[in-house]
Amino acid sequence: MPSEAPSLQVIGLSASYGDVPAVTDVSLEVRRGEIVTMIGANGAGKSTIIKCICGLLKPVAGTVKLFGEDLRGLTPDRLVKKGLSVVPEGRRLFGKMTLKENLELGAYTRNDPAAVRRDMDRVLTDFPELRDRLSTIAGTFSGGQQQMVAVARAMMSNPRVMMLDEPTIGLAPVVVDRISDLLLKIAKSGVDILVVEQNAEVALSMADRGYILEGGRVIAEDDAKSLSESEEVQKAYLGI
Ligand SMILES: Nc1ncnc2c1ncn2[C@@H]1O[C@H](COP(=O)(O)OP(=O)(O)OP(=O)(O)O)[C@@H](O)[C@H]1O
Ligand SMILES: [Mg+2]
């Protein structure tokens, strides 16, 4: 019997800005039920890979597949409809709109208002700290709350796969723990996750598997436990 297609699969991806290569021959996958992390320093190419996967940047070479389907040429909103959701670098909330409006925008590709209302309620159950603040202007939330809003907004498209670009950057440790818990809960609810991080400790503590990215190339991949025990990773990323 053929094995199940990965939820998300990137094969031989290369991308450039003008003539300058940013990512070279990157392959990675997220399998059903997994949280996968991609760890890399500043400028390693993490956001470039995310942008290629979600259709914002056209790769020079390579293939991206969602549940076995080639995504080439699909626009970002088509990808959202197919179940791919992204929490972008820097959150990109609509700072002058209310929390409720931000969440509704997360569901903009959907046309079943009853299901959207149901999902709004489900999301607010997962993020109880947001429930009483629906009419608050998003730009007035703290950094940690804004990150939660960004994750909540991504959940409003009812995704099957979620990608997050450095969701814990700049947040206090207690907020980082809260975000990690939320991601574990989201994964348990059946959403497969690719999370890119500079913070290897946080990333490896929540992930099942990980990839290490340097200079636009994958230099190591393994299960999260083995990566966190590897001397090379400890020296370069964990400060041990
Ligand atoms: N819009 C752009 N124009 C030109 N070069 C870019 C652009 N965006 C990124 N780059 C370059 O591509 C390389 C990869 O950048 P990318 O933003 O993907 O890294 P990153 O791993 O996300 O880094 P960070 O952790 O700082 O977000 C870097 O050398 C960067 O300078
Ligand atoms: Mg980045």
Cα of 237 vs its chain's centroid, Å: 20
pLDDT tens digits for range 91-123: 788 888 899 999 988 887 777 888 888 888 988
Instruction: Check if 40 has its Cβ closer than 6 Å to any atom of ligand 1.
Output: yes
Mutate to test the pocket of ligand 1, among 13, 38, 47 (most ligand atoms within 8 A of CB): 47
Instruction: Check if 45 has its Cβ closer than 6 Å to any atom of ligand 1.
Output: yes
Crossing angle of the two packed helices 99-106 and 143-155, in degrees rounded to 10: 30
What average pLDDT does the structure give for the chain?
Answer: 91
Residue 45 CA to ligand 1 centre (angstroms) = 6
Dihedral sign for Cα atoms in the order 60, 65, 68, 71: negative
| Mean pLDDT calculated for residue range 162-185 | 92
Tokens of 22: 């940013």
Per-residue confidence (pLDDT) for residue 207, from 0 to 100: 97
What is the layout of strands, in order, in the sheet containing 20-30? 20-30, 8-17, 61-66, 69-70
Instruction: Check if 38 has its Cβ closer than 6 Å to any atom of ligand 1.
Output: no
Per-residue confidence (pLDDT) for residue 92, from 0 to 100: 83
pLDDT band, residue 90 (cuts 50/70/90): confident
Per-residue confidence (pLDDT) for residue 107, from 0 to 100: 84
Residue ranges of domains in the chain:
8-238
Give the percent of the chain with pLDDT over 70.
98
- Ligand 2 (ion): residues with CB under 5 Å are 46-47, 89
Closest residue CA from atom 29 of ligand 1: 43
Strands (E), the chain: 8-17, 20-30, 35-40, 61-66, 69-70, 84-87, 161-165, 192-197, 209-214, 217-223
Instruction: Check if 167 has its Cβ closer than 6 Å to any atom of ligand 1.
Output: no
Per-residue confidence (pLDDT) for residue 111, from 0 to 100: 77
Q: Which residues contact 167 (CB under 8 A, 6 or more apart)?
A: 87, 147, 150, 151, 179, 183, 195, 197
Residue 37 CA to ligand 1 centre (angstroms) = 18
pTM summary value = 0.93
pLDDT at 236 over 90: no
d(CA 230, CA 142): 36
Which CATH topology does 8-238 take? Rossmann fold (3.40.50)
pLDDT at 240 over 80: no
Whose tokens are 């960004």? That residue is: 150
Closest residue CA from atom 4 of ligand 1: 17
Instruction: Check if 43 has its Cβ closer than 6 Å to any atom of ligand 1.
Output: yes
Residue 17 CA to ligand 1 centre (angstroms) = 9
The segment with the largest mean pLDDT, out of 22-31, 80-89, 177-186, is: 22-31
Per-residue confidence (pLDDT) for residue 234, from 0 to 100: 83
Tokens of 34: 């997994």
Instruction: Check if 51 has its Cβ closer than 6 Å to any atom of ligand 1.
Output: no
